[in-house]
Amino acid sequence: MRRLTAFFILFASILCLAGRNRGYAQSRHGADSIAVGAIIVGSDTIPSITLHIFEVVDKLPKKFRKQREAWTRLRNAVYVTYPYAKSAARILKDVNSHLATLHDKKDRKKYLSEIEKKMKDQFGDKLENLSVYQGKVLMKLINRETGQNCYEIIKELKGGFSARMWQTVAFFFGGNLKSDYDTQEDRDIEAIVQEIEMYRGSRAYNY
């Protein structure tokens, strides 16, 4: 986007400073003459017309349009999935703490089944509405928040067979449960997360 506003402000300032005496052009000669303002510089009379300030907008080049679209898509995905990743980290921490107190295999299995049911009731419909792209972003964010990728979490809680089965399902949808969060590779995601945290911090401070 190219803005000419500053140019016209500068242009008008130069005209104002060019001479202190301001008048009007000499008397009209002819029916088609138009009277305009003028400034007097020395012995010269210079016509002066005040231009309206306006903006000239040009389309972004295709390359930059694609970059903006990609950024907007990623930003939307992070804003949608980041709360789920935060919830997953909190739930996983609570689950691991409780499992540490259970030594009987049946008790652990029963507890995990109860947690799984609660999570389906709370998040099932919402997560099912995520796109494949949003699901990929979510897996990276879960790794960021928990320090474990989704494959490791499933393997730890449900066993290696379940982890391999869900990894196969994810593969057919173009995903990878072993996706890890890399601060360099995923720096755009990190920038958006920091934006969210800054916004939340600002709201908490204002309240």
pLDDT in tens, 171-202: 777 788 888 999 889 999 999 999 999 877 65
Mean pLDDT computed over 135-163: 88
Residue 6, CA distances (Å) to 10, 48, 49 in order: 6, 19, 17
Mean pLDDT computed over 90-110: 88
pLDDT of 26 reads 52
Residue 207 has pLDDT above 60, yes or no: no
Rounded to whole angstroms, the Cα distance separating 182 from 187 reads 8
pLDDT of 30 reads 54
Rounded to whole angstroms, the Cα distance separating 207 from 204 reads 5
**Cβ pair 119, 179 in contact under 8 A:** no
pTM: 0.64
Residue 118 has pLDDT above 70, yes or no: yes
Residue 74, CA distances (Å) to 34, 70, 163 in order: 57, 6, 27
pLDDT of 11 reads 46
Rounded to whole angstroms, the Cα distance separating 33 from 126 reads 71
Residue 66 has pLDDT above 70, yes or no: yes
- Phi first, then psi, for residue 182 (nearest 5°) are -115, 125
**Cβ pair 133, 147 in contact under 8 A:** no
pLDDT of 85 reads 92
pLDDT of 8 reads 45
Mean pLDDT computed over 4-33: 49
Residue 9 has pLDDT above 60, yes or no: no
pLDDT of 140 reads 93
